[in-house]
């Protein structure tokens, strides 16, 4: 069993990293934390010979930034056009529900949720559509930023490994 541990842990780490990268696009999967735990598992398996605590601490800081970006990006998109609190809540709920409806749900859920939220706040349909689009663009920008930050984590890890 001891000889299987490096192979098994590396496979688990790769699965965590892949799931984490997918999680940057899917709102129900915590992308950056999964990437971090995958990288940490590789470092642990290697007994921290190539990647030590300073690098892992830096990666942890990137995870924190990624979580902040996740919350701020969608809110900024909505707030930039004066979205109601109901629209922001609707976009969040639309993201969660949309995640269970496949790719169309992922793409349309935040938009539909924000529009419904604006309509609940008794705003005009045109205004609701504008807020929905701005919220969706904010979520898209946040997803792209999260993916970029997770790829940066991989680069930092690779750089530390081969230094």
User: Residue 109 has what pLDDT?
Assistant: 85
User: Residue 155 has what pLDDT?
Assistant: 98
H runs (alpha helix) in the chain: 5-23, 31-45, 53-80, 85-99, 102-120, 125-162
Q: What is the pLDDT along the chain (163 residues), one digit of tens a residue?
A: 578 989 999 999 999 999 999 998 877 788 999 999 999 999 999 999 999 999 999 999 999 999 888 777 766 777 778 888 888 888 888 878 887 888 788 778 888 988 899 899 888 888 888 888 888 888 888 889 999 999 999 999 999 999 8
Can you tell me the distance from the alpha carbon of 54 to that of 138, in angstroms, rounded to the nearest whole number?
A: 33
User: Residue 142 has what pLDDT?
Assistant: 87
User: Residue 34 has what pLDDT?
Assistant: 97
User: Residue 126 has what pLDDT?
Assistant: 86
Can you tell me the distance from the alpha carbon of 135 to that of 88, in angstroms, rounded to the nearest whole number?
A: 8
**Burial classification of residue 161, based on how many CB atoms lie within 10 Å of its CB (0-12 exposed, 13-18 middle, 19 or more buried):** middle
User: Residue 1 has what pLDDT?
Assistant: 55
Indicate the number of domains in the chain. 1
Structural domain that includes position 79 = 5-162
CA distances from 86 to 2, 69, 83, 106, 117 (A): 54, 21, 8, 19, 5
User: Residue 50 has what pLDDT?
Assistant: 95
pTM of the model: 0.80
| Strand, coil or helix: 2 | coil
Show Cβ contacts of residue 70 under 8 Å, excluding neighbours closer than 6 positions.
142, 146
């Amino acid at each position: 069993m001891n000889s299987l541990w490096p192979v098994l842990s590396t496979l688990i780490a790769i699965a965590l990293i892949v799931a984490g990268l997918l999680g940057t696009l899917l709102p129900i999967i915590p992308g950056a934390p999964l990437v971090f735990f995958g990288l940490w598992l590789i470092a642990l398996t290697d007994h921290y010979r190539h990647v030590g605590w300073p690098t892992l601490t830096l990666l942890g800081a990137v995870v924190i930034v990624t979580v902040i970006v996740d919350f701020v990006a969608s809110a900024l998109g909505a707030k930039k056009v004066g979205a109601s609190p109901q629209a922001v809540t609707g976009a969040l709920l639309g993201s969660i529900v949309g995640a269970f409806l496949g790719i169309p749900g992922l793409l349309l859920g935040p938009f539909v949720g924000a529009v419904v939220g604006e309509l609940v706040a008794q705003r005009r349909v045109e205004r609701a559509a504008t807020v929905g689009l701005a919220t969706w663009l904010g979520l898209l920008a946040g997803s792209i930023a999260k993916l970029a930050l997770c790829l940066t984590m991989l680069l930092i890890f690779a750089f530390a490994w081969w230094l």
